[in-house]
Homo-oligomer: A and B are copies of this chain.
Amino acid sequence: MRVKCTVSYDGTGFSGFQIQPGQRTVQGEIERGLKKLHKGQEVKVFASGRTDAGVHAIGQVLHFDTEIYIPESRWPNALNSLLPEDVAIQAAAFIEEDFHARYHVRAKEYRYKVSRSEVRDVFSRNYAYHYPYKLDYVKMREAIKFLIGTHDFTSFCSAKTDKEDRIRTLYDIEFYEEDDVLTFRFVGDGFLYNMVRILVGTLINAGRGVLDPYRIPDILKARDRSLCGKTAPGSGLYLWKVYYDN
């Protein structure tokens, strides 16, 4: 039986999602929990994709196969009782055996939080990037217009990206401010390594006036990472939602 789970985690205490020897990872903790539940039998989980160290998730999605029968609605509690406090299964559902959490992704939504308080907020130090300086939201909106759509995002991903195909479609980018927190929202069919964090760094550069938004089409064309802004810190980033057909 294949189980699809929606998982949230606080990335602060993890060396990212993907299992790595000697490191505390989200996948490692979930597989450890599943192994206990399966009386010592290894169960491998497949997620929609990795997240880096310090990056959080509200709605990461993964699947695994099991021979234990637990009713759908009981899966979250059954597994959560075996997981540490910084990971929690939010929902679980039985799904067709040919469903794959990574291969069948239709779109992903990331959000990025920037704390705008003048004095740093002690409670958001691991959950938002503190940027208290002036930002011109009009310029940021101009920049967004050039980024939405289908582009080769080579200039907007880490040089370490191992993917050949760097054409992605950004369906939507927007931002809103609430209680001193500026939140960016990105929806796209896929995101390259560090892409959201470089997009945020670039939008901030547009907002602080060091990048003319009208240069963005040329930056996209140049396919050169060095033309873009700094990679914003991982602690402000959230994998918010993963979209599938069903």
A interface list, Cβ under 8 A from B = 8-10, 56, 76, 80, 85-90, 119-123, 125, 127
Contact = CB atoms under 8 A, between A and B. Distances in A.
A120 to B, nearest CB: 5
Contact of A86 (B80, B86, B125, B127): B125
A87 to B, nearest CB: 6
* Majority secondary structure, A binding face: mixed
Contacts of A80: 119-120
Given A85-B125, A125-B85, A90 B119 contact: yes
A145 to B, nearest CB: 32
Contacts of A121: 8, 88
A10 B122 contact: yes
B8 A88 contact: no
A56 B56 CA distance: 23
B10 A88 contact: no
